[in-house]
Amino acid sequence: MVIHVAVLLGLPFLLTGIINRVKAIWGGRKGPRLSQGCFDVLRLLRKQPVYSSVTTPVFKLAPWVILASTLVTGLFVPLLRDTAPLSMNWDVVAVLYLWGLGRVAMMLAALDTGSAFEGMGASREATFGALVEPAIFLAVGALLATSGHTRLAELVHVGVMAPGRVLAAVGALVALALALLVEASRVPVDDPNTHLELTMIHEVMILDHSGPDLAALQVASAMKMTLFAMLIAGILNPLPASVGPLAVAAVNVALTLVIAIAVGLVESLIARLRMVSVPQLIAASMVAATIAVLGTAWFAGGAR
C-alpha cells in the first residue's frame, strides 16, 4: 500500500519530465531536468491563489475534487503487480465514473468564471469526454471478458501474446493509447504548453486557477496520464506472477517509462490536430475498441 501510493505520487513527475526532455532533445535543446515538474508544483504551493470576484466556492473546490477523485482511481489501478489497494468486481465502472466526477468539477469551475473562453473549453471537454469514454469501456471490457476476470488488477498478465487473445489485446491497447492522448490532453489532441491558442481544451479551463489550486490540477493531470500508461504497461508485461513481484514491478515501471518516451516522440513529430479532426482520432479509438470486442467474441467462439 505504501509503495503503491509512493509510486502514484512520485512517478507522474518523472513521466512529465521524460516527455519534456524527449521533446527538448528532439528540438536540439538540453531541456529541463527530469524533476522540474516537482519543483514547479512546490513553487505553486508557496504562492497565494487569486480568485475573481465573480467566482463562487465551486471554483475553489473543483481542483481538490479533481485531485481527490484521481487519487482514489489510482488505488484501483495495478501499478506494480497484479494487486491494487482497492479492488472489486467491475471496478472499471467506478474508475470511469470517478474520472467523470473530476471532469464535471472542472467544467463547472470553468463555467463559474463567467468567461466565454473557458465555457468554450468546457463544451469541448464534455464533447470529447462523451466520445472517448465508450471506447475505454469497450477496450477494458473486451480484455476483461477475454481474460475471464472482472477486476482491473487482474488485467496484468492477461497474456497479450496468448493464442486467440492477440486481436483483442492489440485492439484494446491501441484504443487505450489513443484514449491516453485524449484524457491526458496531450498532442495531437491538446497542447499542455499552450495557453494562447483557440484550439485548447484542458488548458483553457485552468487559465484562472493559480497557486495551490493550479498545482492540484497539474498533479491530477499528470497522475491521470500515469494511470493510463501503467495500465497499458501492465497489459504488455510478459512476465508471469511466478517470477516474483520485484521483477514484475521493474518491468512495469520500465514499460511505463518507454510509453512516456513514445508520448514525447509523438509530441515531437506530430502537430496538433485541427479541432474538427479530433473526433476522427477518437473514432479511430472506438474502431480499435470494437475490433477488441470482435476479437473477444472470436476467442470465445461467439462469432461462429
Distance CA 222, CA 65 (A): 15
| Angle between helical axes of 91-112 and 116-147 (0-180°, round to 10) | 180
Task: Report the length, in residues, of the chain.
Answer: 304
Q: What is the pLDDT along the chain (304 residues), one digit of tens a residue?
A: 788 889 999 999 999 999 999 999 998 988 889 999 999 999 999 999 999 999 999 999 999 999 999 999 999 988 877 778 898 888 889 999 999 999 999 999 999 999 888 898 899 999 999 999 999 999 998 888 887 788 888 776 665 556 667 888 888 899 999 999 998 888 888 887 776 656 678 888 888 999 999 999 999 999 999 999 998 998 888 887 778 888 888 988 999 999 999 999 999 998 888 888 889 999 999 999 999 898 888 877 654 4
| Rounded CA separation 70/67 (Å) | 5
User: DSSP secondary structure string, 90-105?
Assistant: THHHHHHHHHHHHHHH
The answer to whether residues 206 and 194 touch, using CB atoms and an 8 Å cutoff, is: no
